[in-house]
Each structure stands twice: as C-alpha cells, then as structure tokens.
C-alpha cells in the first residue's frame, strides 16, 4: 500500500510524508496537503464533476468516524476504490485526536465563519487552516460540491444515524440530497432554524456546498455497527460515481429544533436519566431541566431530546428539544 494510505498514522505521529504526491497503479493521484489533509484526484477522463469533502475527527475522541475515513483512505491507496470525484479527506483536529479528547482548548466545531479570530489555541489555528484548505478545494467553477462532516454522538440513539442540515437563508433540503442520505443509511435529518458556526455551516454558507453534519451509529464492541457498514457501502458508491441502493433504507425522518437548553450556572440540573437515548420521547408536561430558578418544562407534542450533556461549560448548550417537522411550532 502507498505510504499516503497511512494518513491516520502520519497524522497521529505528527509527521510529514517523505513523498507528498503518489499515484496508485490505476492512476489515482494522492496529494498530502497539510497535517491530516489528503487531496485525491481521479485519473484523466474519469472525473464526473463532483467535489466531495469528507471530514472526521473534529472532536478527537469520536473514534468511529475516524476509523471510517481511515478505511476509505486505505482502500483508495490499495486501488480497491476507484474514485470518479475529486476528494478532500480531512482528519480535522489532529491535536485532539493525539490526546483522544473532544477538544484541547475550544470546540473546533464552533470556530468557523471567522469565529476562530475571537479565541486562542490550537483549535483556532486549525479552524483557519481548514477554512483555507476548503476554499482552495472548492475553487473550481461549475462543479457539484458536497460535504459530509462525520461525527459520533457518543450515546445510543432511537435513530441509529442522523444528519444535521445547517441553516442557510433561502435554502431548503433538496429531494436529491435526502435520497443521497437515504443511500447512506441516514434515518433522520435535523433542520437547523438559525445560523451556526459549524464546519458544515461554513461550507454551505461560503461555498454553496450540499453540506451535512452526519452522526454515525454507536457500537457496543470493537466491530463497526451494521448501520455504519451500510454508510460505508453507500459512501463508496458515491465516491465511485455509482447510484447507492435505497431499497432497504426508509426515507429519513425530518425533524426541527424547537428549543435549546442552555446551562447558565453550576446549579444546572438535567432531569433525565444519564443514559437516555438521543431522540427519546419526552413526556408532555415533564420537567426537563432546571437552573437557578429557571425551569424547562416540555410543552411540545412529540418532543424528543438530543445531545444531553449536563457537564458542558456555563453558557453552552446542554440539550436540544426537537420535534418532527409536521409538529413543529417554534418556542421562544
């Protein structure tokens, strides 16, 4: 296997490869651009006009997405996958990955669209570098632009795999985008209703990419869950320019954020079991959280909980209340 196929090993070791450009026997070009960044170009005459950005490791302790991207890179280097799209493959937060922690100083996935200028540290530097790498990758005119930022929710979920669509003024999720997600075994799509500074929001806002944050399924042992293997199969089909089969996958359920639960003091308490699943139903009228005299009572029919994290810092989001799109009535 070509040395650049071991991008994860190079990244974890903090090493530059001796050869920054390599060709597979079938003419696929691998080009090391920076720490954790690999550009893959199909052979001449096989490019179908798609620029696909795949990123993992924004949070360094989310191992399943890192493993999935590593498997794809190795398969490309061995010639087992023949791409018909340009690919930018990113291990996004090497500093956190080397420590196997979510973040070093700051949440990298909140530092895009210029937010990195407001803080210091390795994540701020990396956010600026990633913005520059992506800008270069998406600079070619007249091409379809796709971005899947791969994450792991780190807890069981009623929807095994789901995607988050960043808010962008005047845009909606296209039916073809949902079909692509269905082919990736994504069971739900959460539509954001306000601007954010995530990686996928940056690529959607600045580059017009069809961009999603994708939360892959959690596993109970060292083997990859069946849903993740389905995701890999669909992803390889996409990379090779083939249509993914959707026959065995239901269309993704559409959901919308109703409210954010923000931790405001050390007295914050989330009134749900510590092991509650993502998208677990919340009983109408139940107390979800309380904090220094403030109470969050569930008054949305069909409400589900998402990303419950009571240990976050003050001022950060401790949970989301989400509802199916057909039941959505935004709360103030």
Q: All domains of the chain, ordered by start, with CATH? A: 3-239 (3.40.630.10), 258-327 (2.40.50.630)
Q: Beta 210-216 vs 162-165: how paired, if at all?
A: antiparallel
DSSP string of 264-296?
-STT-EE-S-TTPPBT-B--TT-EEEEETTEEE
Check whether 31 is labelled as a binding-site residue.
Answer: no
Q: Is 215 an annotated catalytic residue?
A: yes
Q: What does the pLDDT read at residue 221?
A: 65
| 327 — pLDDT class (breaks 50, 70, 90) | very low
Mean pLDDT of the region 210-231: 90
Q: List C-alpha distances in Å: 43 to 26, 30, 52, 136, 223.
A: 8, 11, 16, 20, 33
Contact (Cβ atoms closer than 8 angstroms) between residue 28 and residue 76: yes
- Please state the length of the chain: 332
pLDDT tens string 165-216: 998 765 678 899 999 999 999 999 999 888 899 999 999 999 999 999 999 9
With 50 as the cut, is the pLDDT of residue 331 above it? no
The Cα–Cα gap between 178 and 186 comes to 9
3-class DSSP state for residue 31? strand
pTM of the predicted model as reported, rounded to 2 decimal places: 0.93
Catalytic residue of the set 215, 218, 277, 300: 215
Per-residue pLDDT of 118-141, as tens digits, reads: 999 999 999 999 999 999 999 999
**Encoding tokens for residue 270?**
């989330």
The answer to the question of whether 151 is labelled as a binding residue is yes
The DSSP string of 157-192 is: BSSSSEEEEPP-TT----HHHHHHHHHTT--EEEEP
Q: How confident is the model at residue 329 (pLDDT cuts 50, 70, 90)?
A: very low
The proportion of the chain whose per-residue pLDDT surpasses 90, expressed as a percent, equals 83
On whether 62 is known to bind a ligand per the annotation, the reply is yes
Mean pLDDT of 295-323: 93
pLDDT tens per residue, range 30-50: 999 999 999 999 999 999 999
The answer to whether the CB of 39 falls within 8 A of the CB of 87 is yes
């Amino acid at each position: 296997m070509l040395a650049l196929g071991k991008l994860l090993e190079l990244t974890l070791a903090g090493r530059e490869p001796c050869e920054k450009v390599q060709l597979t026997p079938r003419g696929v070009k691998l080009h090391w651009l920076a720490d954790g960044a690999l550009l893959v170009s199909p052979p001449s005459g096989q490019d179908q006009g798609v620029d696909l950005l795949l990123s993992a490791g924004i949070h360094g302790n989310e191992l399943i997405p890192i493993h999935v991207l590593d498997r794809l890179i190795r398969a490309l280097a061995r010639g087992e996958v023949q791409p018909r799209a340009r690919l930018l493959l990113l291990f996004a937060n090497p500093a956190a990955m080397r420590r196997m922690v979510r973040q070093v100083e700051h949440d990298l996935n909140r530092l895009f669209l210029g937010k990195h200028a407001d803080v210091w540290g390795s994540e701020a530097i990396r956010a600026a570098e990633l913005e520059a790498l992506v800008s270069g990758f998406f600079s070619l005119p007249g091409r379809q632009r796709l971005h899947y930022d791969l994450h792991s929710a780190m807890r069981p979920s009623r929807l095994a795999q789901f995607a988050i669509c960043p808010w962008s003024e005047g845009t909606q999720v296209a039916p073809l985008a949902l079909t692509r997600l269905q082919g990736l075994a994504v069971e739900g799509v959460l539509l954001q209703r306000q601007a954010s500074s995530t990686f996928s929001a940056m690529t959607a806002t600045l580059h017009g990419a069809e961009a999603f944050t994708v939360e892959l399924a959690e596993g109970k042992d060292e083997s990859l869950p069946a849903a993740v293997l389905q995701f890999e199969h669909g992803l390889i089909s996409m990379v090779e320019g083939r249509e993914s089969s959707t026959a065995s996958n239901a269309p993704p359920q559409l959901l919308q954020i109703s409210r954010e639960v923000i931790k405001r003091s050390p007295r914050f308490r989330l009134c749900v079991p510590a092991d509650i699943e993502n998208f677990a139903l919340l009983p109408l009228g139940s107390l979800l959280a309380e904090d220094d005299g403030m109470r969050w009572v569930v008054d949305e029919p069909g409400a589900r909980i998402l990303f419950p994290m009571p240990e976050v810092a003050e001022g950060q989001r401790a949970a989301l209340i989400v509802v199916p799109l057909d039941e959505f009535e935004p709360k103030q």
